[in-house]
Chains A and B, each alone.
Chain A
Amino acid sequence: MHESHKTRYGNIIFIALLTFGFALIIGRATPYVSIIKDLVYYIAYPNVAVANKIFHTTGRFADNIKSMVFLYQENLAYEQKNQELEDKIRNYNIISKEYDNLSKLLNLEKIKYTKSVFARISAREPGEWYQWLIIDKGENADLRKDLPVVIFNKSKNTLCAMGKILEVYKSSAKVALITNSIYELPVEIKDKGINCLAEGFDSNLIKITYIPSGSDVKSGDEIVVSELSSVFPKGIPVGVIKEVMEETYIDFKTARAEVYFESDVIYDAVILVPCESV
């Protein structure tokens, strides 16, 4: 009985749907449907500029996703590095405190701490090439007169002496180079413990004076800042001896040395500013 009702119900729906379908066919509704379809496409479809923009945005979106993934990976690496550095700082602080206590107990002279201020070289006069240069940091970066200026020497992979601050302005400073003829720097021959004096020569060479006449100094010896310097910390490389003069003058001989800071093109300088602690 139920099945018979269901079948009859199905038949009625079938006839209704067929009638409606044939009405659509006979009524030739295709052109009207096409018009409606075209209208919908016209409204819904973007123009060339918008489509272009959508494609570009999609491309950018994919790039952004990619860079987000890379950034995430990079961030993880930095977090790990940061953690390592934090551990080092914590250990350093413990050792520093221990060092303070010990130096107080033993009455030792404490090491002078310095912080590095990086500056760009903003001007260098061709006529006074070996005398001065101007850096883009000044009082606003806590710079003051007579602070040592060094440069990172790529070939030696270390900081090398370059000069000292002579004049300071609000956002710039004038640096007197060690090659300037007014400059004199106490130096020593590395590993030989011979103290002498480096004098500027207004060229890429400096004159090394007060070398004891009997001392074994030869070409190729390295010159570093001696502990007598009131500007530079001890041991900073200065240059290398190129020529030792044979003639002596009151038990001293002289030599010519090439400075390290001129071996590369200079763009940046590092100013060593003393501070209480790191």
Chain B
Amino acid sequence: MKKFITYFLLYIIFCTLQFFFGKYINICGVFPNFILILIVYLGLTRGVVSAEIAGFLFGLTWDVFSTDIFGMRAVIFTIVGYLTGMMNKHFDKDSPLAKIVIVLSANLVYWFGFSFIYWVLPASESSSSSFITAQAAFKILVTVLIAPIIFFILDRLELFVRGDT
């Protein structure tokens, strides 16, 4: 029950942060992908199942709020969750560099996945082109830089939930 409540709260907090606070906390108009960071974190700490389910639910929610192809983010986040979950045994989870590398890889998967789906299904329903551009590269950079801070906060939160301070 405690686990479920924690997941639910994380879902609410990250959705609010991602969808409603973009105009308040951005760097030169670029807003980091908090949901992607959370999925990577879940993949590294909780494993495949948690990460892919969380990825799917977050993706579906984002699809509802966006005007892009419906189901696209659900698929990409599921893949990101699955891959990070599969990799969690092959990396030193406490190493900040490893985390940065994984977040960078996850970002690349996310953007390449995005571009691939738009390439396969031409953007007749889309409002903007989403191939990797300079702006996307800057977004990846911002997300990668902010990831250690989010990881630190989530680590603290997990310790707090467990009761170890």
Contacts and interface: CB of A to CB of B under 8 A. Distances in A.
Interface of A: 6-7, 9-11, 13-14, 17-18, 20-25, 27-31, 33-34, 37
Given A17-B78, A25-B71, 9 more contacts: A10-B48, A10-B85, A21-B56, A22-B75, A24-B74, A25-B69, A25-B72, A33-B63, A34-B67
Interface of B: 47-49, 52-53, 56, 59, 63-64, 67-72, 74-75, 78-79, 82, 85-86, 117, 121, 125
Contacts, number: 68
B71 A10 contact: no
B71 A23 contact: yes
The 10 A-B residue pairs with the shortest CB-CB distance in the complex, in nearest-first order:
A24-B71, A10-B48, A21-B75, A30-B70, A25-B71, A29-B70, A21-B74, A17-B56, A17-B78, A14-B82
Contacts of B64: 33, 37
Nearest to B78: A17
B78 A14 contact: yes
Given A25-B117, A37-B64, A6 B49 contact: yes
A37 B53 CA distance: 23
A276 B48 CA distance: 93
Nearest to B125: A30
B121 A10 contact: no
Contacts of B86: 10
B125 A28 contact: yes
A273 to B, nearest CB: 67
Contacts of A30: 67-70, 125
Contact of B82 (A10, A24, A25, A28): A10
